[in-house]
Structure 1
Amino acid sequence: MSFELVQSFPLFPEGTARIEVPHPRKEDGSYDVKNINIGWCMLRQDGYPAAQGGRMFTKKCAGSVRCLNPMCMLELVDIRPKLRQRDMDAKFKEGCNACGSPLIHNTCGARVHFLFHDDKYFMCSGKGEGGDRHSHGKYEAKHLSEQGREQLKNIVCTRPEATSKSLVVGLHQGVHITSVRDIDNDLCQNLDRTRYERRKILK
């Protein structure tokens, strides 16, 4: 099966995707293997030299995080997991951003192989049972649109004293306030994202 030539990797590839992307080597002849974004949260596994000076490595999906509270608006929503274990532990200790309920880690067996060779890199899905399919849906978007950023700024500046959690929940000191959780398809329901954006706005 041939590879599809594109200018950049698609986000959230699924199934038997086979992609080829132009990727010039650095001046010293080595490949930059760090900045590959395919949407999924991937953990790097083994890497090894390939034929004719190439480089090959495999990444495994880190799965997703979910809230199981049937009364929560985030029930079964797939949230991007943290890559470092200590950050995951802190996330589980904190609980769901919306309701505070315990979270579960939905593991995933999907794998992706990358080959760097001859000023190109190639991507293909892993083989074996579950190797090319994810056990969860796409994560929430990672970046705010200009319109979404303006909406968030207006809400934060109207209530600068409100905490990030209050902005997500829509309740500050017992008073209902405008929630940010619906901005950009629920992107700001993520407490970490809201905390980060709020800090930038108020600095």
Structure 2
Amino acid sequence: MNEKDNPFELFSAWLEEARGSEPNDPEGMALSTVGEDGMPSSRMVLLKGFDERGFVFYTNYESRKGRQLLNHGMAALLFHWKSLRRQVRIEGPVEQVTESEADAYFSTRHRSSQIGAWASQQSRPVESRFELEKRVAQYAAKYAIGAVPRPPYWSGFRVMPRLIEFWKDGAFRLHDRLVFYRQPDGTWTTERLFP
């Protein structure tokens, strides 16, 4: 790892390597949020894009994670690529993506996934599997012809990193840890950590 590297360039290089070595979902990342009770909550989501502004994923804003992010505005992400013995940690505030960004991504989803976004009342109790399947059938019939519009409660978040830590496995647990900190002027400083 080179301390002079831009963290997004380094992340891009690592993600590209993971795409060649991880058997499933190299874009999979653990998303941690904070609930109303102050308890942390984690789950896996998929990275759908990143640039100098941050790391983007999509969800139902009425889901547990959506509500937590809207209420607290902070998140942590963790990528773990076991095949490469590497991980990347990201921490920072979140912002909602624009309507046009959300519409553009939603239009690329498989039609069945678009219908599912309408049918699922994510994170809320469901009486039975049949109830979910019935809702899917209802929305499939409603949107049988033409494009499926994006639900108003379905959109994306961008995690805007204040910290990005790159961790690389080392022999005898002498791992390599490099942390990038975003400064108020947008530049980055780096620091190596003991393993």
Superposition TM-score tier, normalisation by shorter sequence: under 0.3
Higher percent of residues as strand = 2
User: Structure 1 length normalisation: TM-score?
Assistant: 0.27
Higher percent of residues as helix = 2
Give the structure with higher Rg (CA): 1
User: Structure 2 length normalisation: TM-score?
Assistant: 0.28
